């Protein structure tokens, strides 16, 4: 029995997936209880009166090509948040199974676990450096833990886990649990994604998104990248028409070469602006320290975080309060345009 079928919920393995209306574009559609008329103002190619094609090939193929994986290894969902939710629902039985997370990290892993009724085991990052404690994670994983979530670069601390560490962890967890690497910010780093390693490590799962570097958070497009066997189980759980036709028609062309080149140019601009913002923050007396960031944000300790939040808000901006265990003074700033960053710096002066 494969690792994926050993770890998956038996109900999901046994589930007969919903059989959606057949997709046969050469035939006139009289089988899906759609209206045969377009509404006024519908400028879509396919017609919004029609259900979209499930797992739309232009998106699946475009994302798979960009990530360097096989289309059969990729499921497109409504952001990586949907990928997190699907993993919980495929693998965790309420009241029995757990996930492992390494705080401070992205809070949705624990929220999705809470929704599913799964437990959350915390193995904190090393204080101060926020490095992943691979030995502590491996020591803590028992048979109840199905999914180990690692975010790299990590939100909110900004540091990336070296690729060699991620692969060492995948190897250490082999035959025991799935390692889920959340690479939402990976395009902002020099580090290579581990997505291309999925075929070599049956327990490795990678999540990517178009929400960050691609500037498409409003389109809600993320990818779950894993073995075809795992993707087939997730496909049973995701609603058949999750991705809207408008999303497909807007996003698929942006995954072509010109769109990718434009994305890379915007990332370069943003990284230069991050360096400028970071240098200016370092000169402000109210900023006690910053952590080196490999994302499009900066985490910093403030002498008086409440006052900083208030001053920034009075200037018409909002930054994120990240105060929590291990981060008692921290606020997170998403790098903005040069004009926005100047307003922020002025407000904090």
Q: Is 81 in the site for ligand PLP (CB under 6 A)?
A: yes
Which residues in 199-218 contact ligand PLP (CB under 6 A)?
A: 209, 211, 217
Q: How far is CA 285 from CA 8, 54, 278, 345, 348, in A?
A: 52, 53, 13, 12, 9
In sequence order, the 6+-apart residues with CB closer than 8 A to the CB of 148 are 99, 100, 137, 141, 169, 173, 177, 178, 179, 180
Q: State the burial class of residue 18 (Cβ atoms within 10 Å of its Cβ: 0-12, 13-18, 19+).
A: exposed
Q: Is 184 in the site for ligand PLP (CB under 6 A)?
A: yes
Choose, by CB under 6 A, the member of 206, 222, 254, 298 that binds ligand PLP.
Answer: 222
CB closer to ligand PLP out of 155 and 159: 155
Dihedral of CA atoms 232, 236, 238, 240 in degrees, nearest 10, equals 100
Q: Sign (positive/negative) of CA torsion 205, 163, 70, 223?
A: positive
CB of 297: closest distance to ligand PLP in angstroms?
A: 9
CB closer to ligand PLP out of 81 and 97: 81
Residue with smallest beta-carbon separation from ligand PLP = 79
Q: Is 219 in the site for ligand PLP (CB under 6 A)?
A: no
CB closer to ligand PLP out of 3 and 204: 204
CB of 265: closest distance to ligand PLP in angstroms?
A: 21
Query: What is the C-alpha separation between 145 and 154, in angstroms, rounded?
Result: 21
Per-residue binding string, ligand PLP, 102-141, x by CB under 6 A, is ----x-----------------------------------
Contact range with ligand PLP by CB under 6 A, out of 3-11, 32-40, 77-85, 124-132: 77-85
Number of residues that bind ligand PLP (CB under 6 A): 12
CB closer to ligand PLP out of 5 and 107: 107
CB closer to ligand PLP out of 176 and 332: 332
Q: State the burial class of residue 236 (Cβ atoms within 10 Å of its Cβ: 0-12, 13-18, 19+).
A: middle
Choose, by CB under 6 A, the member of 116, 155, 213, 278 that binds ligand PLP.
Answer: 155
Binding stretches for ligand PLP (CB under 6 A): 79-81, 106, 151, 155, 182, 184, 209, 211, 217, 222
């Amino acid at each position: 029995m494969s690792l994926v079928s050993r770890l998956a919920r038996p109900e999901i393995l046994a589930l007969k997936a919903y059989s959606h209306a057949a997709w046969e574009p050469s035939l006139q559609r009289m089988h899906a209880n759609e209206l045969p008329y377009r509404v006024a103002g519908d400028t879509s190619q396919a017609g919004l009166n029609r259900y979209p094609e499930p797992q739309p090939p232009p998106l699946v193929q475009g994302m798979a090509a960009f990530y360097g994986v096989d289309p059969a290894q990729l499921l497109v969902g409504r952001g990586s948040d949907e990928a997190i939710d699907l993993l919980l629902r495929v693998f965790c039985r309420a009241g029995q199974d757990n996930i492992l997370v390494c705080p401070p990290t992205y809070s949705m892993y624990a929220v999705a676990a809470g929704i599913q009724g799964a437990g959350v085991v915390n193995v904190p990052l090393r204080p101060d450096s926020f490095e992943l404690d691979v030995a502590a994670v491996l020591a803590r994983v028992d048979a109840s833990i199905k999914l180990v979530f690692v975010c790299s670069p990590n939100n909110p601390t900004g540091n990336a886990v070296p690729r060699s560490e991620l692969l060492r962890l995948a190897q250490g967890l082999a035959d025991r649990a799935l390692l889920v690497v959340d690479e939402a910010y990976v395009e902002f780093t020099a580090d290579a994604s581990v997505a291309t390693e999925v075929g070599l490590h049956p327990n490795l799962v990678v999540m990517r998104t178009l929400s960050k570097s691609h500037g498409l958070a409003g389109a809600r497009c993320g990818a779950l990248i894993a073995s075809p066997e795992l993707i087939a189980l997730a496909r049973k759980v995701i609603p058949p028409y999750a991705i809207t036709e408008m999303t497909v028609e807007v996003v698929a062309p942006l995954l072509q070469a010109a769109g990718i080149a434009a994305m890379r140019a915007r990332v370069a601009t943003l990284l230069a602006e991050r360096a400028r913002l970071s240098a200016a923050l370092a000169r402000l007396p109210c900023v006690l320290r910053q952590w080196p960031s490999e994302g499009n944000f900066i985490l910093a300790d403030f002498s008086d975080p409440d006052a900083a939040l208030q001053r920034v808000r009075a200037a018409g901006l909002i930054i994120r309060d990240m105060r929590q265990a291990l981060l008692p003074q921290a606020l997170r700033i998403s790098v903005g345009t040069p004009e926005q960053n100047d307003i922020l710096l002025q407000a904090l002066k």
